[in-house]
């Protein structure tokens, strides 16, 4: 299969909750993640083009949890297979070098 994305993505095989840092509410969970963005399974509809400050935890290269914070913009959304849930694609628009490095480390070998 040909990959047409800017950056390869890795599926999250464990539950990684995503928090809206402005409200403190969990918005959903990561479906897959890249250095440029993520697919999230959301518990509610997301406004077209909405901007967010998200937080989530990844395990870093030393096996320790690391909190990641990103600014993201919603790019698309569609109903998921489960009633009341939605798939939403987000593009990262703001991320620190430290957090980008942690995501790239987590991505590691994309065959994991």
Model pLDDT for residues 49-101, shown as the tens digit of each residue: 999 999 999 986 677 889 999 999 999 999 999 999 999 999 999 999 999 99
Domains of the chain, earliest start first: 12-107 (2.40.10.220)
The per-residue pLDDT for 59 is 84
Residue 54 burial (CB < 10 Å; 0-12/13-18/19+)?
buried
pLDDT above 50 (res 1): no
30-53 tens-digit pLDDT: 999 999 999 999 999 999 999 999
pTM, two decimal places: 0.87
How far is residue 109's CA from residue 112's CA, in Å, rounded to a whole number? 6
The residues, ordered by sequence, that sit 6+ positions from 38 with a Cβ below 8 Å of its Cβ are 9, 18, 30, 31, 32, 72, 89, 90, 92
Which range is least confidently modeled, 1-10, 18-27, 76-85, 103-112? 1-10
Query: Do 28 and 45 form a contact (C-beta atoms < 8 A)?
Result: no
The per-residue pLDDT for 61 is 67
């Amino acid at each position: 299969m040909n990959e047409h994305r800017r950056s390869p993505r890795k599926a999250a095989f464990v539950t990684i909750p995503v928090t809206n840092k402005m409200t403190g509410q969990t918005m959903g969970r990561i479906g897959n993640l890249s250095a440029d963005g993520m697919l999230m399974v959301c518990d509610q509809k997301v406004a077209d083009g909405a901007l967010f400050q998200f937080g989530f935890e990844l395990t870093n290269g030393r096996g320790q949890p690391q909190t990641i914070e990103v600014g993201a913009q919603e790019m698309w959304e569609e109903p998921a297979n489960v009633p009341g849930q939605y798939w939403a694609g987000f593009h990262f628009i703001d991320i620190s070098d430290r957090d980008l490095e942690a995501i790239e480390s987590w991505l590691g070998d994309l065959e994991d």
